[in-house]
Structure 1
Amino acid sequence: MKYQGYLIDLDGTIYRGTEPIPAGRRFVESLQKQEIPFLFLTNNTTKTPAMVASRLKNEFAINVPEETVYTATLATIDYMKDLHLGNKVYIIGEPGLVEPILAAGFVWDEETPDYVVVGLDTELTYEKFVKATLAIQKGGKFIGTNPDKNIPTERGLLPGAGSVIAMVEASTQQKATYIGKPEAIIMDKAIEILNLKKSEVLMVGDNYTTDILAGINNQVDSLLVLSGFTQKAEVATLPEAPTYVVDSLDEWSFE
């Protein structure tokens, strides 16, 4: 089937950590050559779209404008603007989460914020945890950037944003509203940006629990590429099959 637009994961799909996946670069170049619109869809809130685009260019020889990168941070900003609860916010997160939210017009408030946004924070302290807990207890809307419990690194599986959010869920006895893949919020916003229907879009990624379920849960066709997280041996036992499975993105036909 010929799709009118593509949503593409990054780590494990276009590159693997610091290692390029050549088929990923060729896949992007094919989209560009055919002028098929696409967005890189990432749960990573530690880097801005400009930082992601710069890294793609400098480390992986992939030249794309920052407008093609849609992060869980941007989806969080769009979600908060849509809610219209106010503009006060308290955030647990890295500069890649904090700075764009403040630049979008939200104001820092540690006491009575309208929103409490929790993401990955490698400088997490008990005091940040306390402030988030108290702010939510006072009525702040509890938002989790993404549900990823772990992040793969050369050291092993480290705690991800989902682990930090789970701590705040435990202390407040409230569930967060999750933004990133596989949730509907980031998917609906991304498809809106592409200005396409769900039936016209393909979600491409290497991780069944985030990328592929983002497609399955939101009525978007999915392409699982076995170049990263989900292994070939797991495919036969997946609860619901992706629309397509390939060993390499070189195998994909755009027709």
Structure 2
Amino acid sequence: MTPRAAVLDLDGTLVSGDGLLPGARDAAAAIRERVEAVCFLTNNPTVPPEAYAARLRDLGIEAAPAEVVTACTATLAYLREHHADDAVYAIAGDDIVAQLRDAGVSLVADPTACECVVAGYDPDFDYDDMHAALRAFGDSGAVGFVGTDPDRTIPTPDGPVPGSGAVVHAISGVVERDPDVVLGKPSVETAGIVAERLGVPAADTVVVGDNPATDVAFGERAGMTTVRVRTGLGRADGGPDADVVVDDIGAAVRVFREA
């Protein structure tokens, strides 16, 4: 198989904190030269694609907004399809709420008035949020429950910190109900968005990421070749084995040369 497209994770694969991981700039350029299409795919729901693309360009990596798919991208697409006219109560940080509002989602401040709850990354998540979730769902099974992404932890230069998945699981535990859907990687909904953006068959696509439970699982589920880098989370537990394991994104370039 000669790769025609690349799906590149960001945090822990290309990016660490506000900077690039060693060799990331050259690796991204080398991969882009060898494929027809590139998608930067992240489970970070807090940064809009336009801002992510601008951040990557500032760091020296060529990127257009249409090439960036985030967990919030997938969440908004799901809401448009399944909850287009619903009143939504968000248990999420300000950055996510702003994207929902900018996309025209009908947000409500009263949890008892909602028809759908969206849960995502929130560094200020607390007891009051769990209480709001109880009020939102009450005894009704008709209220939708959407998680932005499953990442219980996210990599940072100082080690992992709780992510959206921690918030989703806390809410799920207190209301005794699983989410209707959790977007981001490895969801099939996100895979559909990526496939549409790339315009290349999954069998001709290579996904590179650090997280077995999200990046590798996403690629395996979508039928892509999977490459795991040991940067970021870089653990082999908690997800399927990748087709190829390398030290970093620089070493991943050889997959595009040799495949």
Question: What interval of TM-score do these two structures reach, taking the shorter chain for normalisation?
Answer: 0.7 to 0.9
- TM-superposed CA distance for 1:34, in Å, is 4.7
SS at match of 2:228: strand
Deviation at 1:31, TM superposition (A): 4.0
Rate the CA distance shift 1:33–1:148 in 2: closer, same or farther, 3 A. same
Cα deviation, residue 212, structure 1? 0.6
Alignment of 1:225 with 2:224, yes or no, is no
Q: SS state of the match for residue 175, structure 1?
A: coil
Structure 1 segments, 4+ long, off by >4 Å, are 237-240
1:205-252 alpha-carbon deviations (Å, 9 max, x no partner): 122121111112332221122333225xx4xx8874322223323433
Query: Does the CA-based 8 Å contact 2:155-2:232 persist in structure 1?
Result: no
The AA in structure 2 aligned to 1:225 is: V
Distance 1:96 1:186 in 2: 20
Q: What is the letter of the counterpart of residue 152 of structure 1?
A: P
8 Å Cα contact 1:112/1:140 also seen in 2: no
| Residue pairs, 1:160-239, within 5 angstroms | 160-176=163-179, 177-230=181-234, 234=236
160-169 or 147-156: bigger deviation: 147-156
- Where does the alignment leave 5 or more consecutive residues of structure 1 unmatched? none
Q: Which moved more, 1:122-131 or 1:138-147?
A: 122-131
- Structure 1 residues 98 and 171 mapped into 2: Cα distance closer, same or farther (>3 Å)? same
Change (3 A) 1:157 1:14: closer
Which structure 2 segments of 5+ residues have no match?
Answer: none
The 3 A distance-change label for structure 1 pair 250 and 199 is closer
Report the TM-score when normalising by structure 2. 0.86
Aligned partners of 2:254 and 2:231: how far apart in 1?
Answer: 12
1:44 aligns with 2:44: yes
Larger CA deviation: 136-145 vs 65-74: 136-145
Identity %: 28
Aligned to 1:97: 96
Shift of 1:19: 4.3
Q: What SS does structure 1 have at the residue aligned with 2:161?
A: strand
1:148 alignment counterpart: 151
CA gap 1:6/1:31 in 2 versus in 1, 3 angstroms: same
Partners of 1:253 and 1:34 in 2: how far apart?
A: 7
Report the aligned-residue RMSD. 2.3
In 2, Cα distance between the equivalents of 1:150 and 1:238? 12
The CA distance in 1 between the partners of 2:91 and 2:240, in whole Å, is 34
